Amino acid sequence: MTVEGGAGAQGPRVRGDDSGAASPAGATPVEKESHFLAAMESAQLGIFVLQDRLFKYVNPYFCKLFGYGAEELLDGMGPLDLIVAEQHPFLLDQMQQRAAGISGHDYELTGVRQDGVRFPLLVAGSPSVFGGRPASVGTVLDLSAQKAAERRIRELADFDALTGLPNRRLLRDRFAQLLAAAERENSEIAVIFLDLDHFKRVNDSLGHSVGDDLLCEVARRLCAVVRRVDTLARLGGDEFIFALPGISGGAAIDVARRLLEVCVTPFAVAGHELTVTSSLGISLYPQDGKDLETLLKNADAAMYRAKEGGRNAFQFYASEMNLATLERLLMENHLRRALAQQEFVLHYQPLVSLQSGLIIGVEALIRWRHPEFGMVMPDRFIQVAEETGLINQIGDWVLCEACRQAQAWCTAGLPPLSMAVNVAPVQFRQVGFVELVAGALAASGLEAGRLELEVTERTVMHDAEIHLDTLSALHRMGVELALDDFGTGYSSLAYLKRFPVGKLKIDRSFVNDLDVDADDRAIASTIVSMGRNLRLTVLAEGVETIEQLDLLRKMGCDMAQGFYFSRAVPADQMARLLDEQPFMNKES
């Protein structure tokens, strides 16, 4: 594109290509230019022309965005006057590249309005020509609303609404950081599971509001015991978890004693003087477990041992409390045999349009048909498969089998549908994953647009730039992409805009209590609104009740899946559902 003329009241003259695609057919060059300029003048984002680091054209929205008049900006100011000083070196480099004719990517900056207020913005620029000399044209988008929504999602998703403490989700994230540091430094981590003794009596005798007030007071006292590097979280009810880096067994005893002491001091709550005791279980990394779930399970077991011993005490975990290590070894051996003897099967859960009730897709879910234990659900074996590296072989089989089945239904004359397949993080990161997908499509004959791969937020945000290449390659192939468990991680909205994702899946943790929890409703509504604004399809998983369904419909959610419609069923039962379409126009 070429930008001509000066920067007077009529703005620059912009000459596009000769196709006339941007103007009505048969328009003269002058009319084309008039239409193009009118579009820039009325655009609801900032548009600018830059030359010699000075603005040569700005549209009205650009002026409104920064609070300056066009007469102040044109030929007197440039981007350096509107961006915080610490970002000037980066900005200078970008301007030099555009002036040299080098195209670039969108990037985020912090703008400064005339009144000094700072705000986040997204800049896109391209090389151009102005008056016969190198210049650049670009757009500026205010990200304030998106950033505010992102912060709100994090707050609602990561903190306990009652006490303000981190919840299980945030505890898991923080513990991952503690674990990485402990591995590097060869240090220990103590995990303490604290449960209040006979707390149910408070709720039953004085009411849940008094019980909630007591929990808040307990949380405040517990916070006073821990260090700034420690994490104190509430799992729910009267259960509190402490993750204490650099704490050995001896130091954990001192902490446990202080925790017992702060709990037994009477609490003044709602005019009552209440005394509560607590029972504590302690597990230590690495000897009692090398991941949070194992350490939590073992600390929980130790806590119950403390209760059995008379309460108001603490207990260390002992390996004889369970047979976790032996069970894991047996599970690994069974998984290897299952692969060799083809014991895995796929069941399918319908994905239903909330507007029509039509089944427009299915999600493939793996089951293990164990010769001794019967049908084994994935939550029993997927983690072991990931830890042992077997997940790649299992995931590859799932992908190929799902494509084969989808094509078989199509050949049988059933309504066209999309086949959704979950992709494990390890599987997504393996070398040659794109080629594997292409091979599965080719072998089955399934159209690429009928395959939908579901990846989690955490998967794509880990090494986001690298994974963007994989996602883009799949998108070019025609494969649909969905972001699973949305709202449970730390996705950047700027990256979300760049990822070629077509669907957001609201995590079931936000749907479970949708009809009784205002926070969950706020999160779900925010995700639906965000998806609509980004022109993405939004699907809610884990829908089990009509109340949940009605709320999702009112929010404008596009699709849903869950036990309200159907559990995951074998292929022959799924074929009957596809043929009968029992949810069409189902009254709420």
pLDDT in tens, 153-177: 777 778 888 998 999 999 999 999 9
Q: Which residues pair with 447 in a beta bridge?
A: none
pLDDT at position 22: 44
Closest CA to 163 of 104, 213, 100, 227: 213
CATH topology of domain 2-142: Beta-Lactamase (3.30.450)
What per-residue string of b and e applies to 162-174 under the rule 16 or more CB within 10 Å gives b? ebebbbbbbbbbb
pLDDT at position 463: 66
Q: Which residues pair with 110 in a beta bridge?
A: 120
Q: Per-residue pLDDT tens for 473-507?
A: 999 999 999 988 776 655 556 667 778 889 999 98
Residues of the chain with CATH 3.20.20.450: 327-577
21: pLDDT strictly greater than 60: no
- Cis amide prior to 582 (ω within 30 degrees): no
pLDDT interval class at 44 (50, 70, 90): confident
Sequence letter at residue 85: A
pLDDT at position 36: 67
Residues of the chain with CATH 3.30.450.20: 2-142
CA dihedral 364, 369, 375, 379 (to 10 degrees): -60
For 224, the token pair is 């006073």
- The region, left, alpha or beta by phi > 0 then psi within -120 to 50, assigned to residue 571 is alpha
Beta pairing, strands 231-236 & 189-196: unpaired
405: pLDDT strictly greater than 90: yes
Specify the CATH number for 155-322; select among 3.40.50.2300, 3.40.50.300, 3.40.50.10420, 3.30.70.270. 3.30.70.270
Task: Provide the H-helix boundaries in 186-291.
Answer: 199-206, 208-225, 249-264
The gap from C-alpha 177 to its chain's centroid, in whole angstroms, comes to: 18
Q: 3-class DSSP state for residue 316? A: strand
**Counting every residue, how long is the chain?**
588
- Average pLDDT on 192-196 reads 95
Sequence letter at residue 540: A
- In terms of C-beta density within 10 A (0-12 exposed, 13-18 middle, 19 or more buried), how is residue 399 classed? buried
pLDDT at position 318: 78
Calpha distance 98→139 (Å, rounded): 13
For 413, the token pair is 């004359």
Q: 3-class DSSP state for residue 518? A: helix
Sequence letter at residue 309: G
- Average pLDDT on 382-411 reads 91
Q: Reply yes or no on domain 327-577 having CATH 3.40.50.10860.
A: no
Sequence letter at residue 132: G
- Average pLDDT on 224-232 reads 92
Question: With contact defined as beta carbons under 8 Å apart, do 57 and 11 qualify?
Answer: yes
Residues of the chain with CATH 3.30.70.270: 155-322
Mean pLDDT across the chain: 87
Q: Per-residue pLDDT tens for 78-126?
A: 999 999 999 999 999 999 888 888 888 899 999 999 999 999 999 998 9
Question: With contact defined as beta carbons under 8 Å apart, do 138 and 47 qualify?
Answer: yes
For 119, the token pair is 């705000």
Q: Please name the helix (run of DSSP H) or strand (run of DSSP E) that holds residue 419, with its range, or none.
A: strand 418-422
Calpha distance 75→403 (Å, rounded): 59
